[in-house]
Amino acid sequence: MGRAADTHSRQNPSARYRRLLDLYREMHVRGELIRGIAPERTFPGSSLLPQAHHVRRLVAQTGARSILDYGSGKGSQYRPLQLAENGVARWGSVQEYWGVERIVCFDPAYEPFSRPPQGRFDGVICTDVLEHCPEPDLPWIIAELFGFAGRFVFASIACHPAVKRLPNGENAHCTVRPPQFWAELLISAANGHPGVLWEARAYTKGSEGGEIRLGNAAGVELSPVAIA
């Protein structure tokens, strides 16, 4: 990524990061106009639920009590809702499902959650976010994930173009790279935090598409949950 990338930070992001942030702020307010999707249905936080069972496993493994959702969207994933496992409704919210005391949302493009978080959290999760970020900014963004985490980091990453389009017509996934690219970035950041477990789920498409699990976290896979 070159030395120029190393000069970027939250205080000094790339010009492309700033431009994209403005576009995402616009979409949160106006919706996804190109596809006719209303503001309340634009980045509501729905990408979290398919990954919630992975987070539950990491919470149980590490005894986590606090979670930072980094790039949370509007946070609707944390509203009261009935969650079912194997067709049986068992929990009244994602927070109850995870069994944690505190969940904090952060999303720089959504005004209510735009203030950078303070302190550290047992777990940091980042679902369907990193591929929306410019490549030169990824080192500092991923460093933030680990810097906020005391026990684990979890990320899900699409390695293919998005369905969503930005207001200027660009594809919403501005960094489309193979799983190995993401593994190298995450390992580089994780090396500075040897006590933090991490896991990423990278998703590819095509004839050999599927889910690839990255990271140093282990454990028995849990059954996914769904809205009852």
Q: Which of 105, 148, 165 is nearest to 10 (CA)?
A: 148
219 vs 12: CA distance, rounded Å: 38
Q: Which of 199, 71, 64, 85 is nearest to 130 (CA)?
A: 71
- Determine the pLDDT at residue 7: 87
Tens digit of pLDDT for each residue in 124-165? 999 999 999 999 999 999 999 999 999 999 999 999 999 999
Tens digit of pLDDT for each residue in 197-211? 999 999 999 767 799
Tens digit of pLDDT for each residue in 43-72? 999 999 999 999 999 999 999 999 999 999
| pTM value > 0.85 | yes
- Determine the pLDDT at residue 1: 42
Residue 41 has pLDDT above 70, yes or no: yes
For each of the domains in the chain, give its residue range(s) and CATH number, in order of start. Answer: 13-227 (3.40.50)
